[in-house]
Amino acid sequence: MPPPWQSRRDFPDLAARFVQALTAVKGEVHQADSLAAAYDLTNQLLRQMEAEKVVLNDERPLHNLPRLPHITYHQVGQEEAALRDFCARADAGLTSADAALAETGTIVLTSGPGKSRLASLLPPVHMALVPTAVLTTDLFTWTASFNRQRLPQSPPTNLNFISGPSKTADIEQIMAVGVHGPKRFIVILYA
């Protein structure tokens, strides 16, 4: 068996590199020094955008997010028949992340029970609460680690790599944001 992958990249501060890379592609990053501060920041942003409907994946750390009384929430896994319709009308979708790739400012979402890609794709705003513990250098380093952890199990049916809001330049090579997905992508990176 070959030795584990060793990245040739060396970023002295993975969080700083992640912020730099994601903001370069029009993503927004807010940093919090604790999970409690991340919850406060999430709710502050939801108030600022005047969100009325929010879909959230059924995953940590979203289980304990304090719910705002003026918002209607739909948690993935409850009333699956209504999920697509709710996501299409939601103001924001909340997820966590399985990994955050510092080199490119990308978050990785895996599929599984209680985790729907609709929460990250249909609402106009996608917010991800991402612990600094899942920061890694690059795609190759994460893949090597992921493969070592997952070899005895079957892989997820879906992996999403998200690097900023949806963008396309299909028409006359003019960049348009939010055509095929969220117009706004916000990561709350917490310690």
pLDDT in tens, 117-172: 999 999 999 999 999 999 999 988 888 777 666 545 667 788 899 998 776 666 67
- pLDDT value of position 1: 59
In the predicted structure, residue 15 carries a pLDDT above the cut 90: yes
What is the model's pTM?
0.87
Which one-letter amino acid corresponds to residue 132? T
Q: Do residues 173 and 44 lie in contact, with contact meaning Cβ atoms separated by under 8 Å?
A: no
CA distance 2 to 24: 35
Task: State both tokens at 52.
Answer: 């009325």
Share of the chain above pLDDT 90, in %: 68
DSSP state for residue 189 in the 8-state scheme: E
SS3 for 83? helix
Task: State both tokens at 130.
Answer: 């991402």
* CA-CA-CA-CA torsion sign (124, 106, 42, 60): positive
Q: Nearest Cα to 26, choosing from 142, 161, 125, 165?
A: 165
Of residues 15 and 147, more confidently modeled: 15
pLDDT tens, residue by residue, 63-82: 999 999 999 999 998 877 78
145, burial (CB in 10 Å: exposed 0-12, middle 13-18, buried 19+): middle
In CATH, the number for domain 14-190 is 3.40.50.10420
